[in-house]
Amino acid sequence: MSNLAVSVILPVFNEADNLEPLTRDILAALEDTGRSYEIIFIDDGSTDRSLEVLTALQRTHSSIVVIEFRRNFGQTAALAAGLRAAEGEVVVTMDADRQNDPQDIGMLLREIDQGMDLVCGWRHERKDGLWLRLLPSRAANWLISTTTDVKLHDYGCTLKAMRKDVAKNLRLYGEMHRFIPAIASWYGVRMSEVKVRHHPRTAGVSKYGLSRTFRVLLDLLTVKFLMGYSARPIQFFGSIGLACTVAGGSVLGWLFIERVFLGIALAGRPAVLAGIVLTLIGLQFVTVGLLAELQARTYHESQDKPIYEIRHTYRGRES
């Protein structure tokens, strides 16, 4: 059993010039908290001197853990590896580019102490470019908040703190690290958002760009489906299927009335094809929903995966 209080997780990709000063700042911040800790760096296939710097730091500080990936798997995979390896009762995630401020770790921990399960950082004064970073980020934050019903100002801030049980329940893949609050909300966590400091990048090159926008949108659809319909896919696909079937059936029914009772010819009318296509699409959606329902039952039952999450069980004191 580990007695560690805090685990700090940092994905690293080509940040050699930032690692030594960043480590000094994190160590100082953690020492100020008076808690036991570990710092987990995940080298995500860096091609510069990052791994060399990390292994040197690890030899100097016994509290540092370095995980080396065979190649670049992405930030989500790096965070997932860190969450799996973390042994602290509270897990803190942050970037390795020195734009997050380690001094904010203490504030996040105090929020956890006050009963929060997950605390998210809000970079309310971001030091990034307006057109390529700030405006796309604000649009994405609004879209994610609206779609998931988890209202946050800053989904893209990696600086977060969460209890160990929350961290161990997260299953991340794709680009889903930015959706951690939305995914965690399914478990009924107590969540808060606090303003944190944000510094301009002084070394290294940003790995973010507009190319991630489309991947974020696709992952957002996945998250929305998993949050609302992973245990009842028939309600999602079936609703679409019934709507299409009713629409197609109504069109065909009206065409039948026109042909039989009004003598109107149907040849060459696009409405005939539209009615048939809508009906077939509707039946296909219902069929997909039924197959997805079977798959969902197999998924939950084969792994004995619960469809609920218990925070705590209170029992009476035994005599």
101-143, pLDDT tens digit by residue? 999 999 999 999 999 999 999 998 877 766 666 777 788 888 8
Task: Take residue 74 and report the two structure tokens written for it.
Answer: 């992405």
CATH of 6-229, one of 3.40.50.150, 3.90.550.10, 1.10.645.10, 3.40.50.720: 3.90.550.10
pLDDT band at 2 (very low <50, low <70, confident <90, very high): low
Q: What angle do CA 165, 160, 220 make, to 5 degrees?
A: 85
Which class for 156: exposed (0-12), middle (13-18), buried (19 or more C-beta within 10 A)? buried
| Averaged pLDDT for residues 3-10 | 94
* pLDDT greater at residue 140 or residue 83: 83
Residue 308 has pLDDT above 70, yes or no: no
DSSP symbol at 104: G
* Residues ≥6 apart with Cβ < 8 Å to 184: 117, 118, 162, 166, 169, 170, 191
What are the boundaries of each domain within the chain?
Answer: 6-229, 233-302
User: What's the pLDDT at 307?
Assistant: 53
Residue 38 has pLDDT above 80, yes or no: yes
278-307 per-residue burial string, b: 16 or more CB within 10 A, e: under 16: bbebbeebbebbeebbeebeeeeeeeeeee
Residue 68 has pLDDT above 60, yes or no: yes
User: What's the pLDDT at 164?
Assistant: 95
> pTM here?
0.77
Please, are residues 292 and 234 in contact by the beta-carbon 8 Å criterion?
A: yes
User: What's the pLDDT at 299?
Assistant: 67
